[in-house]
Structure 1
Amino acid sequence: MKEITLLKSTSGYIALLIFLAVLLVTSILVAVTIGSTSIPIEDVYQVIVNELSSQINHSAIRDIIIYIRLPRLILAIAVGMGLAVSGVVMQAVVRNPLADPYILGVSSGASLGATSAALLGVGSAFGSNYLGVMGCIGAFAVSMMVLVLSNIGGRSNSIKLLLSGMALSSLCSAFSSFIVYFADDKEGMMSITYWLMGSLAGAEWSVIAVVLPIVFLCTIFLWSQHRILNLMLLGDEVAVTLGTELHRYRNLFLLISALMIGFIVYASGMIGFVGLIIPHFVRFLVGTDHKKLLPISALAGALLLVWADVLSRIIIPQNELPIGILISMVGAPCFIYLMAKKSYGFGGNN
């Protein structure tokens, strides 16, 4: 299928990059004023200016902005960026446009880790956020197991990675169901259910200080590998003829993506469809070259999560809708539309 790209020129790409960056900054400044508590825009900016100039004036408004809204927005940027970039990388690594960050058993591993924590008390030594910590450990552990399993009997390839991920995903889901079936803990089951829906309500500066640098550094590294990612779309045979062995790069990219997803799961629970929808939408705009695709996807993913978090806080008065539910309700119809139109390009054999 012929690739459809709206912005073919370099100037168009740069203009889009600048536009999205400005829009993201503007969105943060607007979104921080929106919430269940009405705060005048001038008060919000005065608080931010005072914080930047170290002229701290303690008040209820300051606490809402500094300790609730801003952390959620910054975490939304990190989560959206990480999920979108991981989606791009996963789709290139397994050469499957339907791949998302959770396709290789990561979601089932995270679910098993969280279920073990909530219903069996595993990892309680990690403190109050042990549910997220165990989810992170479960996600990363299953990713490592997928890599090991896919390399048994020969080097891994995209097909072996997919099959290994499916097998381990089924195994983790079975163990999670086993634990839930025999556990008699309604409160624990409610905690798991809410965590699996995804939420940014637990955003704290201490968490952001870990998650945001990891996502940013991983994104920069993956962007620097755009030529290798482009080769992956062409397949191992073509890459070998061009003098590049993709095996070690495939393992490295999966490890880095698993690291990002693990920390995202730790901070926000399970949020789906971002890593599936954003890459397809951005390919429609700038094409399949990862040098352009990764930065635009990172900004688009961040924008999506910022406004999804705002909507999740205000769409139901005096209550908060889990952000994973909101994104799935919007993301699923959008993805069905994309599949029906078949108007995106994937590179290689389109």
Structure 2
Amino acid sequence: MQRLESRGITGCFYYPIILLLLFLIAVSAVYSVSIGQVHIPFGQSMNILLHALTNGKLGSLHGIQESNSNIIFQIRMPRVIFALLIGMGLSLCGAVMQATVQNPLADPYIIGISSGASLGATIAILIGFGSFFANFGVAFGAFAGAAVTSAAVLLLSSIGGRATSVKLILSGVVIGAFCSSFSDLVIYFANNAEGVQQVAFWSMGSLAPSSWEKIPILAAVVLLGCVFFLFQHRVLNTMLLGDESAVTLGINLSIFRKIYMVLAALITGTMVAYAGTIGFVGLIVPHICRGLFGADHKRLIPATLLIGSLFMIWADILSRILIHNVDLPIGIITSVIGSPLFIYMIVKKGYKFGG
């Protein structure tokens, strides 16, 4: 267990850094609701939010236009909450997947979830399947595709014995390639230029579709998943040590792998259904946290949730301010930021997966 006892470069400053991250998330959230085509001063945004959160006990609306309050609560606040939840969910699933399959290149989409979700969304958009579910048609199609893909991967990896990390990865690659090919086939034969453009935009990831109506389901799935995995740090640590060590400790990793994969697939499928495919968050954030806080999942999971949220909030801010009056797909921003960071971590001496 020696390599899991490392506390990273933060050492005994873990809890002060956690408090600092909470403070930075709060400040970043206020700044995020302040920017846009209609600029709202930071102080006004702070007063509006404090007044709402404390039921009028703190903050003052004196001299603040009602339109500014409506812009913050009806348009920008749901987007910030979406960024928070999706940042938490992707980072959590990335950390869990990396431990589950014992692969530092694992991310929430490694078992083909994104390909399955893309296939479901493509069918919903181009064939019209989603019209039966009104505004949730694309989300339902994407989630259904992700769920079916996850089930197929688990079934395929279980054939011929217990599901190992290698079999899970290979099954995910095969199923993901099949779904991608079928999506391309649907797009090729679709006579719908507007629909194809919508599919392309959805595949890049975006927080623009966020709304208060979609938050309850997303929040319930992500937050319940976070609470569950916060108490699974011992099993996750054991997964990093390998199956042989788990046998000596009396832990059946095959069962836990299936449980964790199902839950991670549910969380990821829900996020992809609402926001599309947002890459690199689930890959890079857990690695950053391991370098800072060590590989012990008792410290890693809470830090991953907070840094993932902060990362996603700022990625969303950049997607709105880099080009004037243009809302860039957030998946482009996360990839542009994540790629150089990951390259740096690869060439950085002393960094090893698991410690």
1:263 shift after superposition: 1.1
Q: What is the CA deviation profile of residues 290-309 of structure 1, one whole-angstrom value per residue up to 9, with x for unaligned ones?
A: 00111000000000010111
SS in 2 for 1:39: coil
- Residue 17 of structure 1 deviates from its aligned partner by 1.3
Contact 1:278–1:300 (8 Å) recurs in 2: yes
**Does structure 2 conserve the Cα–Cα contact (< 8 Å) formed by 1:232 and 1:246?**
yes
Q: Secondary structure at the match of 1:199?
A: coil
- Maintained 8 Å contact 1:24/1:302: yes
What are the equivalent positions in structure 2 for 1:119-158 lying under 5 Å apart?
119-158=126-165
Say if 1:36 and 1:314, in contact at 8 Å, map to a contact too.
no
What is the number of equivalent residue pairs in this alignment?
Answer: 347
Q: Which sits farther off after the overlay, 240-249 or 74-83?
A: 240-249
Partners in 2 of 1:102 and 1:179 — Cα distance? 21
CA-to-aligned-CA distance 1:77-109 (integer Å, 9 cap, x gap): 000000000000000000000000001001110
Q: 1:45 to 1:13 in 2, by over 3 A?
A: closer
Does residue 318 (structure 1) correspond to residue 325 (structure 2)? The answer is yes
1:7 alignment counterpart: 9
Measure how far apart 1:58 and its partner are: 8.1
Specify the alignment match of 2:106 in structure 1. 99
* Contact 1:7 1:13 (C-alpha < 8 Å) held by counterparts: no
SS of the residue 1:36 aligns to: coil
CA drift at 1:47: 2.6
Match of 1:65 among 57, 60, 72: 72
Q: Distance in 2 between matches of 1:14 and 1:149?
A: 42
Matching residue of 1:341: 348
1:164 offset after TM fit, Å? 0.5
Cα distance, 1:286 vs structure 2:
0.9
| Contact kept in structure 2, 1:88 and 1:294, CA below 8 Å | yes
Distance 1:284 1:45 in 2: 34
Distance between the aligned counterparts of 2:26 and 2:260, measured in 1?
A: 29
Q: 2:274 aligns with which of 261, 267, 272?
A: 267
Contact 1:287/1:345 (CA < 8 Å) preserved in 2? no
What is the alpha-carbon distance in structure 2 between the residues aligned to residue 119 and residue 77 of structure 1? Answer: 30
Which letter does structure 2 place at the counterpart of 1:214? V
8 Å contact from structure 1 (residues 284, 343) kept in 2:
no
Contact 1:156 1:247 in 2 (8 A): yes
> What is the aligned partner in structure 2 of residue 41 from structure 1?
42
Paired position in structure 2 for 1:237: 244
Letter in 1 for 2:13: G
Instruction: Name stretches of at least 5 consecutive residues in structure 1 with no aligned partner.
Output: none
Provide the C-alpha distance between the structure 1 equivalents of 2:210 and 2:35, rounded to a whole number of angstroms: 17
Shift of 1:5: 5.2
1:342 Cα deviation after fit? 4.9
Identify the match of residue 309 of structure 1 among 304, 310, 316. Answer: 316
For residues 157-172 of structure 1, the aligned pairs below 5 Å read: 157-172=164-179
- CA-CA distance at 1:53 after TM superposition: 5.6
SS in 1 for 2:152: helix
- Counterpart contact for 1:105–1:168, Cα < 8 Å: yes
Structure 2 residue runs of 5 or longer lacking an equivalent are none
2:90 is aligned, of 67, 83, 89, to 83
Cα distance per residue 1:224-266 (max 9 Å; x no partner) = 0100000001111110111111111110011111111111112
Q: Give the distance between the partners of 2:343 and 2:55, measured in 1 at CA.
A: 49
Report SS of the residue matched to 1:104.
coil
Rounded to whole Å, the distance in 2 between the matches of 1:281 and 1:189 is 36
Aligned residue identity for 1:21? L
Q: How far apart, in 1, do the equivalents of 2:117 and 2:201 lie? A: 14
SS at match of 1:280: helix
**Aligned partners of 1:217, 1:58: CA distance in 2, in Å?**
37
User: What TM-score, normalized to structure 2?
Assistant: 0.93
Contact 1:35 1:310 (8 Å CA) reproduced: no
**Residue 327 (structure 1) aligns with:** 334
Paired AA for residue 28 in structure 1: A
Is the contact between residue 288 and residue 345 of structure 1 (CA under 8 Å) also seen in structure 2? no
CA contact (8 A) 2:98 2:104 kept: yes
Note if 1:21 corresponds to 2:22: yes
Displacement, 1:54?
5.4
Aligned to 2:194: 187
Percent of pairs with identical residues:
45
2:220 to 195, 213, 217: 213
2:265 to 251, 254, 258: 258
Is the partner of 1:155 in helix, strand or coil? coil
Report SS of the residue matched to 1:128: helix
Tell me what 2:230 maps to: 223
Q: C-alpha displacement at 1:130, in angstroms?
A: 1.1
Is contact 2:150-2:262 (8 Å) kept? yes
Give 1:208 shift. Answer: 1.1
Find the residue that maps to 2:154 and give its secondary structure: helix
Q: Which contiguous aligned blocks of 4+ residues in structure 1 show a shift greater than 4 angstroms? A: 2-5, 53-58
Distance in 1 between residues matched to 2:45 and 2:30, nearest whole Å: 9
d(CA) in 2 for partners of 1:53 and 1:144? 44
